[in-house]
Amino acid sequence: MENYKKTLQNKLRATAIMLCFGSAVFIIGQQGYLSKFYPQGNFGDFFRGFHAGIFIALVICLIASAARIGAILKDEKQLKADYIKNTDERNLKISELTGYKLYKSLITPIIVASIAAGYFSSTVFFTLLAVSAFIVIVSFTRWIYYNKII
């Protein structure tokens, strides 16, 4: 349990660092330093909106995650419940069958690649975005399926 507590503390630190880094990137973007790199026309407007949307979603997720971890660390009962949830053998089996770890490790690089590709080509941007959406849908569907049959 102590090891799990340390893992959660490390997770909280990583979340705070990501939040600071994300905010710094967003502020730099708002100052206009990145505006010359943005594509022109309708796609450019869409791309700016997409960036803002991704950032807002990321910030909300990170704040919610930090609040959840903070609450868990304060309450021993919640800590045990979360530990059980994360180490439960049935949950681990479902994760293994759905390939959750693989999907999780694929989705972040694909989204980052789609954002980077957006500066050069709208086709590549939309293709990678569709791939990431497909991965999320497949992963979620498989999770529902295995959660039902196991």
Partner 1 sequence: MKTKIKELRKQNKLSQDELAEAVDVTRQTITSLECEKYTASLVLAYKIAHYFNLTIEEVFDFSDIN
Name the site residues for partner 1 (rule: CB under 8 A). 80, 84-85, 87-91, 93, 149-150
Nearer Cβ to partner 1, position 116 or 150? Answer: 150
Minimum distance of partner 1 from residue 95's CB (angstroms): 13
Taking the least distance from each CB to partner 1, the nearer of 7 and 87 is 87
Vertex 45, ends 40 and 48: CA angle to 5°? 105
Min CB(4)–partner 1 separation in Å: 12
Which DSSP symbol is given to 71? H
Q: Closer CB to partner 1, residue 40 or residue 149?
A: 149
Contacts 24+ apart (CB under 8 A), 5-9: 5/73, 5/79, 8/69, 8/72, 8/73, 8/79, 8/82, 9/73
Q: Write down the least CB distance from residue 44 to partner 1, Å.
A: 48
- Half-sphere exposure for 34 (CA within 13 Å, toward CB): 16
Closer to partner 1 by CB, 20 or 150: give it: 150
